Structure 1
Amino acid sequence: MLTCHDWHGEQVPWDQTMISRNAPGNGFWAVDFARSGAYRITLRDRPPYVRHPIAGRRARLVIGDREWVQDVPSGASAVEFRLNQAAGPTRLQTFLMDGQTELRGAYFVEIAYADEAPHPTDDSRTR
């Protein structure tokens, strides 16, 4: 589980009070994918055991020079991306958006290696 407390950036929520107030901010995580393959990456505003609607209407995930964007279903507590990722170190950053306006990053991100193939619409774009 990645948390916003580990963002590399200028506006980092440093305690749970800031998260409960939906404090603005964003940054990237320095990550190292242990192996190449299919991954599920889940963006959340709260830990998985807390049902809380995710902010924004769209979510954007950026890993290295690739990015994915998808709509956030109304009332959803998480947004899941399925993708192929090469092993090795990279940067990972999230953006929650209201239309084209970036609100902030997702406070919590889960990364899970998936045995199944990625979603057939793994339509990443190179930035």
Structure 2
Amino acid sequence: MIQVKIYDERVTNIYYGETLIEGFTRIDSIPSPEEIPGKIPVMYYRNGAIVYEYEPIPEIPIEEEQPIPEMTYEEQVVAKIRERYSVDDELAILRQRDTKPDEFEAYNTYAESCKEEARLLIEKQKH
């Protein structure tokens, strides 16, 4: 059994079940709506039958892209270093700089290249 709730001829709720619901109207079937590009079917109950009216699909407002705040030089350097070294890795390398000089040198060379890359990016953003 199918029952529909109607408000001002518009179908607002559909109930599929055997229990009679007060305020709902019993119907035999619900026809399938047509597929019309750019339109959505809206269900109405008129003259004892379900009918559809087709309304334009509402436009969803497109939010303007918010400009991404520019990162400071320091933030860019840190972000680039984090691509390769976690905070824990960086602290371990710095603590062991005297006992593992090769590892420290590789880290330091990478950090210096991150600084140069950030400086070039900042210069590029200015122009």
Alignment TM-score, normalising by the size of structure 2: 0.20
Q: Which has the higher contact order (CA 8 A, sep 6+)?
A: 1
> Which protein has the bigger strand share?
1
Alignment TM-score, normalising by the size of structure 1: 0.20
Compare CA radii of gyration and give the structure with the larger one: 2
> Which protein has the bigger helix share?
2
